[in-house]
Amino acid sequence: MKFKLWCLLLTCLSHFVILAQRENDTIKTEKLIIIKQYSPTLNDAFKVRSKPIISDSIKKQQKTVEYSIFSVPVASTFTPSKGTASSISPQARPYSFQNYARLGAGNFTNIMAEFLGKVYLNRYQDLEVDFDHFSSAGGIETEPLDNNFMDTSLGLKFQSSDRYLVWHAGVDIDYKRYNWYGFDEDLLNDSNQLFGDDLSVIDPLQTYLGLNLNGGLDFDSDYIKTLDLNVKNLTDNYNSSENEVDINSGFEFYVANNSLDLDVNFNFLSGNFDQQYNIPDNGIKYGFLTTALQPSMQFEIDDLFLDVGLKGVFLNDTEIKESDFFVYPKVKATYKFAEEFMLYGGLDGDLNMNSYESVVDQNPFVSPTLFLQPTDNAFTGFTGLNGKIKTLSYNLKVFYQQENNYAFFIENSAVPGLLVFEPQNNFEYGNSFSLIYDDLTTFGLSAEANYEAFDSFNVGLSAQYFNFSLDNLPVAPYLPEFKFSLNANYQITDKWFLHSTLFYIGERESLRYTAIPLNDTFFDSSGVDGFVDINFGIDYQLNERIGLFITGRNLLDNNYQQWRNFDVQGIQVMGGLSYQFDW
């Protein structure tokens, strides 16, 4: 009882003390004044070492790695293009826009048109269009027959790509119009007649229509790389026809850590002409089937680069039922002495098929009465040196070449053998060409140089010398001993651009059959003068899309002849405009 009483008294006393303290507390929170702020010193901060010391007895030492780049020397494969008598190489098309058009006109009613366009169908597919046209009304005063011409081509190409495969398909159409306007005017009589016929009865027009269907596959594969297919057809105004199927495929294998490339080619060429020269009742048929394999490997030994290969070709003449097999070397070696000097050499060879299309591309004035045979380029040995000294690059080369069954252009005779000539076609007035074959050996020297004075000005030149020897023919028809070309380009400002070319083709010899054999030969040759052709052009860019141009060709006004009796146009001046855009 006493214990309970003391507990009660203690409880009451504690409540009384707490209430008394609350009543006597004079410190208010809203009146709290801080006399001094807390200011930490540097000693209060915890310091962390930027690179802690690691005491590890098995720590690996860092190895020093040295990097170096090995530059592989590449042999020059530059081959100067052949000079064209009445034209210059076109200016490179600009690439700031996807589409480009160019239209021009000049004297002789010369008209040119170009178009290059691309349409992107989606992210992986596109369609490309390429169109080229050049035509002329002729107008050569020294030629009494029509000498107008036209050369037009249209190409369509569709391409699609995905992760592992890129494929394309296209069609190319080529249309050409030429006239057999060149003949020996000494054959005209006093009445301006040729073989008793008035010139007005001669219709010298010949047309060529070419169609090419092509397609290809590019594989992202360890073995097969490419597969290409071309199907061609060529017809003319005299019922001639030629068909060609060409299949190419490329493979790659690895042998002893080296890459082995294998190219496989299959080609079938066939065609027919309705008649032989001055023999309309006898036609000409031809057909050749070739299969070729070419393995090659590349090796790098210090500064020596080797490309070693071999090509085997099986040829079957489907008309005469004969076959043959050819083996050609494919060896190239390049040794790099320094950046400015490299020595190269090698052996090469191939079987070159002479098709109606390839012959017409060289000389459109051939008659549709050709005997076509392939040319066996048995071997070509070459050596040379090239390099670059500051802004001057150069290439010097010497070669020796053996070609069996080489195809030469020969004038169709007005009097074949001892028979009186009676023209039965428009190309039988001594105004067309045919082919004749012989073995040709060529020794040649060539020098090429390109000097870039500064970014906007460069000059290039090429000089070649040839020495020919033949087995049977007295001369090498239409093959000059000397060739020379010079070109210069100057970008004056962003808007003005100048370009010019000069080329020289040395004297050549023409060959034709004689009416009466002289000194046991059935051939008669005549000299064809060499010529110099100078071309000049000015381009002015009005704005980023529209430009103007003017060109002058054959500025020396030389009525020279690429082919005997076929004069070319004199001074040709053409102007026009260009336009580049995006769809």
- pLDDT tens-digit profile of 86-128? 444 444 444 478 899 999 999 999 999 999 999 999 999 999 9
Quickly count helices (H) and strands (E) in the chain.
2, 28
Q: Would you say residue 31 lies in a domain?
A: no
- CATH code: domain of residue 173: 2.40.170.20
Tell me the residue range of the domain where 305 lies: 99-581
Q: Would you say residue 454 lies in a domain?
A: yes
Q: Give residue 85's pLDDT band: very low, low, confident or very high (50, 70, 90).
A: very low
The answer on pLDDT for 22 being more than 50 is: no
Taking only the tens place, the pLDDT of each residue in 400-449 is 999 999 999 999 876 444 445 567 889 988 899 999 999 999 999 999 99
| 106 within 8 A of 535, measured Cβ to Cβ | no
Q: Give residue 281's pLDDT band: very low, low, confident or very high (50, 70, 90).
A: confident
Taking only the tens place, the pLDDT of each residue in 537-554 is 999 999 999 999 999 999
DSSP calls for 426-494: TT-SS--EEEEEEEEEEEEEEEEEEEEEETTEEEEEEEEEEEEEESS-SS-TT--SEEEEEEEEEE-SS
Q: Give residue 185's pLDDT band: very low, low, confident or very high (50, 70, 90).
A: confident
Q: Would you say residue 68 lies in a domain?
A: no
Taking only the tens place, the pLDDT of each residue in 268-279 is 999 999 999 878
Q: Would you say residue 84 lies in a domain?
A: no
Nearest-angstrom CA–CA distance, 332 and 133 = 39
What pTM was computed for the model? Answer: 0.81
Phi, psi of 25 (to 5 degrees): -80, 115
Q: Would you say residue 338 lies in a domain?
A: yes
Mean pLDDT of the chain: 84
- Provide the 10 A C-beta neighbour count for residue 167: 15
Q: Would you say residue 48 lies in a domain?
A: no
The answer on pLDDT for 61 being more than 70 is: no
Which single residue is written with the structure tokens 């003319």?
Answer: 236
- Count up the domains in the chain and report the number: 1
Residue 255 burial class via C-beta count within 10 angstroms: exposed 0-12, middle 13-18, buried 19 and up: exposed
Q: Please report the pLDDT score of residue 187 as a whole number.
A: 77
Q: Would you say residue 540 lies in a domain?
A: yes
Q: Would you say residue 25 lies in a domain?
A: no
Taking only the tens place, the pLDDT of each residue in 30-58 is 444 444 444 444 444 444 444 444 444 44
| 332 within 8 A of 344, measured Cβ to Cβ | yes
The answer on pLDDT for 10 being more than 60 is: no
